[in-house]
């Protein structure tokens, strides 16, 4: 708990701002839906969703990814830039526990922020749409939010990497992996791939440990 508290003190302002920003984007999407309903009626918006496959929350598409990447930078870049990572690795516990605790903290806080977005959107959408349409919209958004968690883990991997040559390689690999999440704009296009994307995310949680191991063996610029 003390370790988590330290991470919260270090990153609390960012995560509070991230929560507010994501909430504002959710509210913006809801206001857009409300405006269309007011101007043309709920029947029209249902027809647009069914005929044009619109979901009316496209503005959220890249927000979780941006928040996830920035969370990794805010949490880990100062650790490397100010050499605080050395102190972390010399704590009276294994570096697996130290770095694992940091990753767990960031991932859990991001997950709570993202779940709050889903809760707010779900409550609002269920007031205006049938359950099937609400499911259609939220399942489409699941892919974006998984990308946000993966972006956080890959950002941590990049920041912790001790050499710039390998860091550039990591950036290119991360960009290629994250690109997979945004190839198709068709709603629910990734439904069958969600388990695979979840596996990508789980595997990515191991990568920062590899960079830490390289740091401990003296791989530095």
pLDDT at 119: 95
Q: Give the SS3 label for residue 184.
A: coil
- Is pLDDT at 214 greater than 90 in this prediction? no
pLDDT, position 5:
81
Each residue of 31-80: pLDDT tens digit? Answer: 998 988 888 777 777 777 777 778 889 999 999 999 999 999 999 988 77
Q: Residue 132 pLDDT more than 90?
A: no
Half-sphere exposure of 221 (CA within 13 A, CB side): 12
Count CA within 13 A, CB hemisphere, residue 130: 8
- C-beta of residue 150 within 8 angstroms of C-beta of residue 190: no
Find tokens 């704590």 and name the residue: 91
Q: Which residue has the higher pLDDT, 98 or 199?
A: 199
Q: pLDDT at position 91, please? A: 60
Q: Give the pLDDT confidence score for residue 83 in this predicted structure.
A: 65
Q: Residues 149-196: pLDDT tens digits?
A: 999 999 999 998 888 899 999 999 999 999 999 999 888 999 999 999
State residue 160 phi and psi, 5-degree precision: -75, -25
What does pLDDT average to over the chain?
A: 88
If pLDDT is split at 50, 70 and 90, which confidence band does 81 have? confident
Per DSSP, the residues of 86-130 read HHHHTSSS-HHHHHHHHHHHHHHHHHHHHHHHHHHHHHHHHTTS-
Asked if residue 205 has pLDDT above 60, the reply is yes
CA-CA distances (angstroms) from residue 140 to 40, 44, 61, 135? Answer: 25, 21, 9, 8
Which residues does 188 contact at the CB level (< 8 Å), separation at least 6? 136, 139, 140
pLDDT at 217 over 90: no
């Amino acid at each position: 708990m003390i370790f988590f508290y330290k991470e919260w003190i270090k990153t609390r302002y960012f995560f509070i701002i991230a929560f507010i920003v994501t909430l504002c984007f959710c509210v913006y999407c809801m206001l857009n839906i409300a405006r269309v309903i007011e101007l043309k009626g709920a029947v029209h918006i249902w027809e647009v969703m069914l005929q044009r496959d619109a979901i009316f929350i496209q503005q959220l598409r890249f927000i979780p990814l941006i928040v996830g990447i920035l969370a990794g930078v805010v949490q880990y870049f100062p650790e490397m830039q100010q050499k605080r990572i050395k102190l972390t690795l010399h704590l009276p516990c294994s570096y697996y526990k130290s770095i694992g605790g940091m990753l767990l903290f960031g991932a859990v806080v991001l997950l709570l922020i993202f779940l709050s977005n889903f809760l707010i959107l779900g409550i609002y959408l269920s007031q205006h749409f049938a359950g099937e349409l609400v499911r259609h919209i939220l399942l489409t958004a699941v892919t974006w939010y998984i990308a946000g968690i993966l972006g956080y883990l890959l950002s941590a991997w990049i920041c912790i990497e001790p050499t710039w040559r390998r860091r550039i390689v990591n950036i290119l690999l991360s960009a290629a992996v994250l690109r997979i999440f945004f190839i198709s704009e068709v709603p629910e296009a990734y439904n069958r791939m969600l388990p695979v994307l979840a596996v990508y995310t789980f595997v990515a949680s191991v990568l920062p440990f590899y960079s830490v191991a390289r740091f401990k063996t003296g791989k530095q610029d």
